[in-house]
Structure 1
Amino acid sequence: MPSSLKLDAFLPYRLSIASNAVSDAVATAYRTLFGLRIPEWRLITVLAEDGPMSQQALCGRTRMDKVTVSRAAIALADRGLIARAANPGDQRSHLIALSDAGWTLYEQIAPKAIDLEKRIFEGFSDLERTQLHAMLERLEAAAAALDPGPAARA
């Protein structure tokens, strides 16, 4: 039975393709320059921006599943880039924070990330970048409104 769905015109598919293309370019740069995978880079950046947090909080903040966050945290801990400490608010979990080496790496990566973003969006006007940012926020909110959340899925 023929479908009227055309992937190249289906916006969720196009967003995924665009996201993957950008992610692949960024991943190649971070892997080549710093030996990091995207999940590891995300954890470093979130911890730099938001401070110490639990793995569960990292899952929520990065929208990555707990296995991906756990593997990234293990890889970063093995490299001495993060440290774990007892969580005073929940004795069953730990808080993860950047180590001194993690901060040093973040300070090296952040300018490269900003440069990559500039290069990716150099063909866009300031207005187009602002509009894209606003549209992405609206898309995320609309998608969140469709998601019943973990409690409803259980």
Structure 2
Amino acid sequence: MSKKDITIDHALRATWQAIIKMYNEQAAKLDSTMATGFALLSIDPEEGTPSTALGPRMGMEATSLSRTLKSMEERGLIERKPNPADGRGVLIFLTEFGKENRDFSKDRVLKFNEAVRANIDAEKVDHFFEVIHVINDLIQNKKIYNTSETTIKQ
């Protein structure tokens, strides 16, 4: 398949799948997953993070996040504490073990970014971020599909 034949969404999806596989291979060294590493990086290591803020921050649905947090708690990576600012809320804190795993995850992300930046001109990386920004804008502001389009009738 030539570059012209590959759709943009296919290139993004295939690349993201390769990144997931790479991160999961690294996370497996700690008997973990990329999702857990991402959660560790999304939790403030000093102040904790409200559980309600994690889903939007990570782009995860509540049920997936709930399973991930339950697993992390069982593994001793996090602990839940009542939120003093909101009696109904819960803050998620990293344990010392969680902080160690977070450091490992952060190192993996930084190494990936360093390797990409070392192999691609800074101008091209800037263009990549410009393209990603436009794609996100087109999607978020519903500029691709007309909302008045009708659905296919069967």
Out of 136, 139, 142, which is 2:138 matched to? Answer: 142
Out of 10, 14, 27, which is 1:13 matched to? Answer: 10
Larger RCO of the pair (alpha carbons < 8 Å, separation 6+): 2
Residues 50-94 of structure 1: CA distance to partner in whole angstroms, max 9, x if unpaired?
942233211100001111111111111112111111123433331
Instruction: Say if 1:70 and 1:132 are closer, same or farther in 2 by CA, change over 3 A.
Output: same
Identity of aligned residues (%): 16
Instruction: Say if 1:112 and 1:14 are closer, same or farther in 2 by CA, change over 3 A.
Output: closer
Match of 1:60 in 2: 56
- Aligned CA RMSD, in angstroms, stands at 2.5
Give how far 1:102 is off: 1.2
The answer to whether structure 1 residue 29 and structure 2 residue 23 are counterparts is no
TM (norm. structure 2) is 0.77
State how far apart, in whole Å, the 2-side matches of 1:76 and 1:57 are.
Answer: 17
State how far apart, in whole Å, the 2-side matches of 1:125 and 1:112 are.
Answer: 21
| Structure (1/2) with the larger helix percentage | 1
Instruction: Say if 1:65 and 1:75 are closer, same or farther in 2 by CA, change over 3 A.
Output: same
* Equivalent residue runs for 1:5-154 within 5 Å: 8-31=5-28, 33-48=29-44, 51-120=47-116, 122-146=118-142
Paired residues in the alignment total 140
Larger C-alpha radius of gyration, 1 or 2? 2
Unaligned runs of 5+ in 1: 1-7, 148-154
State how far apart, in whole Å, the 2-side matches of 1:95 and 1:49 are.
Answer: 12
Match of 1:151 in 2: none
Instruction: Say if 1:38 and 1:112 are closer, same or farther in 2 by CA, change over 3 A.
Output: closer
Unaligned runs of 5+ in 2: 144-154
| Structure (1/2) with the larger strand percentage | 2
SS at match of 1:92: strand
- The answer to which of 129-138 and 59-68 deviates more is 129-138
Q: Is the contact between residue 44 and residue 106 of structure 1 (CA under 8 Å) also seen in structure 2?
A: yes
Q: Is the contact between residue 83 and residue 98 of structure 1 (CA under 8 Å) also seen in structure 2?
A: yes
Tell me the amino acid that sits aligned with residue 60 of structure 1.
Answer: P
Tell me the amino acid that sits aligned with residue 10 of structure 2.
Answer: Y
State how far apart, in whole Å, the 2-side matches of 1:12 and 1:108 are.
Answer: 30
Tell me the amino acid that sits aligned with residue 76 of structure 1.
Answer: M
Give how far 1:122 is off: 4.2
